[in-house]
Structure 1
Amino acid sequence: MSDAVILYPSSGRGHVVPMVELGKLISKHHPSISITIIILTLPNETTSTNSYIATVSAAAPSINFIHIVASSFEIAQLNNRNLHQAILTLSSSSNVKALVIDYFCNFAVQVSSCLNIPTYYFCAASASALCHLLYCPTIHKNIAESLKDLDILVDAPGTPSIPSKDLPLVMLDRSHRVYQYFINTANQMAKSSGIIVNTFESLGPRAVKAILEGKCTPDESFLPPIYCIGPIVSTSESKEEHECLIWLDSQPSRSVVFLCFGSMGVFSATQLKEMAIGLEKVGLGSCGWCAIHQQIIKPEAFYMQKNEAWKRKTGFVVKLWAPQVAILNHGSVGLFVTHCGWNSILESVCAGVPMLAWPLYAEQKMNRTFLVEGMKMGLKVSESEDGIVSAAELEQRLTEMMKSEKGKEIERRVMAIRACAVEAVNNGGSSRVALAHFVESL
């Protein structure tokens, strides 16, 4: 029987895509290992995720997909019976060497332990975010109150200090069931067979060093191997040329500001108007802008504001999905305004494009701190107390990035890190070596 690895991502494009790309990476460099990916499908799953999987299935028939329909956040626990049966079925024809799970699928450990299958975790976030996750039990032990009742800086080894209000909401309330879930996950990860991280060593060296030295885990006797195998980004976008790429062809080199806020980013009409005004003011100078937004509330406020820019051909708006990787790698794009999802940050790094950090939810405010203060590859966009980024704030940050010496310094650093990313995934690079070590551990 052939050796097999089962990948088990959480639901949602931001988790599915990097896990599938991991499967493609293993299959490419170690074709003797068969890859099966179990997909949890929610009723409201975006069509973009479905079309992405269909594209991968057509291009990589050696990767097997099993779909399980789920219905809630606790999908992994609720579907353990289905997972157990799927693994038993695969075991009848393959030698299952490992189960690689997303950290949102921690309940799956109950199944892998029962079947005596080594469990690895896949972290689709930065090494700094992993530091914080592994350090959660220590923070829980050292701080008796819920962080929602405090206004403090929270420290984790190897990372910049994070304002408590910038942590994910579920980590602020000790009584929340999801809070305890993350504490349990962190403890379980520390006892696992290994942790695979979608990053490369030189992107977060302090964080990687802190994890390897056991500073993030409460019991240093539990220190799983860490495999930094990134950056892995999607290479399965549609080959059909999008109209925005044709528009970009007509723009000067590095002149376009690209705005995109992920698959779950939504804005109020008030925020869209402020955004449009800020872009208009900057657009009157020497830059164009390309606003790509996946889901928009009351978009008319934005489109009415952009009419004049459209006539001057300084702006372009895409209402739905756009090929982000292709856009970032287009020669006319010089700046990325991002919600700070880790996949988007990696795609920008790989393209050598500096960033303005405009986080919206989940761990994105943490990522802003890592990006701006730790990696020094972007500038912070600040919101008011009511959560609105004003037109003036957006205009100032765009101008600072495009015209100041600090902006030029950030651009030089991003290009240097891009070269490190290329080196990491080449033959003999740190990420390629880490991938080989993971396969050897099986």
Structure 2
Amino acid sequence: MIMEKKNPCIVMVPSPGLSHLIPLVEFAKNLTSFFLHHHKIDNLHVKLLIPTLGPPSSSMNSILNTKSLPPNITFTLLPQVNPQDLNITDAKPQPATLMQLAVKQSLPFIHQQLTNLTSTNHYHLVSIVFSLFSTDVIHLAKEFNLLSYVFFASGASFLSFCLHLPHLDEQQQQQHDDDDESFLFHHQFTETNGNNGVHIPGCPVPFQVQDFPAPVLYQRSSQAYKSFLGVCREYSLVDGVIVNTFTDLESDAIKAIEDQAKTRNNNANSPFVYPIGPLIQTATTNQVNRLECLTWLDNQPPKSVLYISFGSGGTVSQEQLNEIAFGLELSGNKFLWVLRAPNSFGGSAYLKEQKEDPLHYLPSGFLDRTKGQGLVVTSWAPQVEILAHGSTGGFLTHCGWNSILESVVYGVPMIAWPLFAEQSMNAVLLKDVLKVALMPEKAEDEDGIIKREGIANVIMRIMEENKEGLEIRKRIKEFSDAAAAAAISENGGSSAEAFLSVAEKFKSRI
């Protein structure tokens, strides 16, 4: 009797949220294509096990549309996790905490799925690849004797911080044994006494306390801090970290991570970090607002339009929304604005789809006054096509990593407007290290609102043919060319080499 050969299978577990799902799906597509064309392996299967907080959004449904996925990439939406069942102890839970706890609560279902896959004669499990906040599945990887890799959907600079955080926490314990404050809490009081900020391995410029993600600013006994620290500690236990970046963009951070890994693992020869980016969507399957946006752009002059979007879940307050509207009006510059209903928390729509009409929150008469100047669309737009369009000359962005990579790939200068998570760290990288973005100045008062005059000023600085704007355009064109050279392709760029290296690790188990 001839035994049927089992299909090799790689399981992928994204964290909740589109910014984690999108690049992981793109990685899966590249992986199956690579094994088919380079190793003639046409039966590699990728199974996505997707933890969910609430029902899937329309954007998630479009990404997981079976028409846009190859037949050997399938997915299972795990049972919805109710946020009320997560045993949240912090008064204001952070999205990072919610995502980590949602994955933790989904572990029994992930275990069952792995058991089902291994108990059939159809699949041979090779590895688990999991997202930034899905590190709890590393214990399942050990139980099922699988390779374990983190797919890090942010940059190498933030990864370096995450790997360095346990060391900083240990220092804090040694220096302030009975103190419940985080190391950054103490640091913020020394900044005024000549301290130059917090230095992270591989980052050429220091970061200020306000640049770091909110969870690490909490007390050390808080759920947010402990959850984030626990995730960072797990990174040192995996077989490697696959990072959606490329060497020319973050060479110092990548080298620092590799050096730390060699020290930690007694100078091991195997790479720890695999920079395989930029992995971005090449086209969007969601047709909402697509025709309207692209038709409008077709009728605008080259490089004349400022595109404004705060990502898949970013929000601003009503007062700040008003100032953005008046700032656009004041600048006189053409714009395409993806509008979302206001909220005082910058990530309020990240894990929960909004139902209300954002247009109701615009200043009275704004749409009439700017009818020939701009286009406002609600909630979603075909971002990749917009950034690739010849009429787009600038991007006001929340500094989410996917948006940054898309802007870099298409050579679009940025106005950095970070809202939450690691976005302020990304903004520092864009403005002070890569020098491909400007930031509007906040007003001196305590409300932190960026006023219309400052918004109009930064728009004109980035969009007009001045020395500053031209220099930024030159810089981002260089990174755009480097991204094309590095990308996973037949040309064998730096990311292609890293991709080949991690693919060979998978192949060794097939």
Q: 1:315 and 1:19, CA in 2 relative to 1: closer, same or farther beyond 3 A?
A: same
CA distance in 2, matches of 1:46, 1:9: 15
Task: Provide, for residues 330-377 of structure 1, a one-character-per-residue CA deviation record: whole Å limited to 9, x for no partner.
Answer: 100000000000000011111110100001111111111111112211
Bigger Cα displacement from structure 2, 189-198 vs 64-73: 64-73
By how many angstroms is 1:222 displaced?
A: 8.2
Change over 3 Å in CA distance of 1:35–1:57 after alignment to 2: farther
In structure 1, the partner of 2:479 is 417
2:127 alignment partner, SS class: strand
For the 8 Å contact 2:50–2:78, the answer to whether it is kept is yes
Between structure 1 and structure 2, the one with the greater Rg is 2
Alpha carbons 2:15, 2:133 under 8 Å: kept: yes
| Shift, 1:236, TM fit | 4.6
Number of residues paired by the alignment?
Answer: 436
Q: Would the aligned equivalents of 2:416 and 2:427 in 1 still touch at CA under 8 Å?
A: yes
**Residues 376, 410 of structure 1: 8 Å contact kept:** yes
Quote the residue 2:276 is aligned against.
Answer: 229
**CA distance 1:104–1:274, change in 2 (3 Å):** same
TM-score by length of 1: 0.93
| Residue number in structure 2 paired with 1:95 | 124
CA contact (8 A) 1:135 1:218 kept: no
Identity %: 33
Q: How does 1:249-398 map to 2 (within 5 A)?
A: 249-283=298-332, 287-296=333-342, 299-302=359-362, 304-311=364-371, 313-384=372-443, 385-398=446-459
- 1:184 has 2:246 as partner: no
CA distance in 2: counterparts of 1:381 and 1:198, whole angstroms:
27
Report the CA distance shift for 1:76/1:269 in structure 2 as closer, same or farther (over 3 A).
closer
Q: 1:439: which partner in 2?
A: 503
The answer as to whether partners of 2:52 and 2:102 remain within 8 angstroms in 1 is no
Looking at structure 1, the residues matched to 236 and 171 of structure 2 have their Cα atoms a distance apart, in angstroms, of 19
Question: Given the superposition, is the C-alpha separation of residues 418 and 309 from structure 1 closer, same or farther in structure 2, using an over 3 Å criterion?
Answer: farther
The DSSP-based 3-state class of the residue aligned with 2:111 is helix
TM-score, structure 2 normalization: 0.81
Q: Deviations over 1:402-434 (max 9, x none)?
A: 233122111111111111111112321111121
Residue 302 of structure 1 aligns to which amino acid in structure 2? L
Point out where structure 2 has 5 or more consecutive residues left out of the alignment. Answer: 1-5, 84-97, 192-196, 344-357
> Could you say which residue in structure 2 is the equivalent of 1:170?
215
Question: Contact (CA 8 Å) 1:356, 1:397: kept in 2 or not?
Answer: yes
Residue 37 to residue 295, structure 1, CA distance change in 2 (3 Å): farther
How many angstroms apart in 1 are the aligned matches of 2:75 and 2:25?
A: 10
**Counterpart code for 1:330:** H
CA distance in 1, matches of 2:394, 2:7: 46
- 1:198 has 2:244 as partner: yes
Indicate whether 1:429 and 2:493 are aligned: yes
AA paired with 2:338?
I
Q: 1:304 to 1:44 in 2, by over 3 A?
A: farther
| Residue 25 of structure 2, aligned match among 9, 14, 20 | 20
Gaps spanning 5+ residues in structure 1: where? none
Could you say which residue in structure 2 is the equivalent of 1:69? 79
Letter in 2 for 1:3: P
Confirm whether residue 400 of structure 1 aligns to residue 461 of structure 2: yes
**Which stretch of structure 1 is more off in the superposition, 407-416 or 374-383?**
374-383
Task: Tell me the amino acid that sits aligned with residue 98 of structure 1.
Answer: S
Alpha-carbon distance between aligned partners in 1 of 2:292 and 2:342, rounded to the nearest angstrom? 20
Secondary structure of the residue that 2:448 maps to in structure 1?
coil
CA distance in 2, matches of 1:392, 1:149: 35
Q: Which residue, out of 138, 142, 145, partners 1:116?
A: 145
Q: How far apart, in 2, do the equivalents of 1:205 and 1:357 lie?
A: 22
Which deviates more, 195-204 or 266-275?
Answer: 266-275
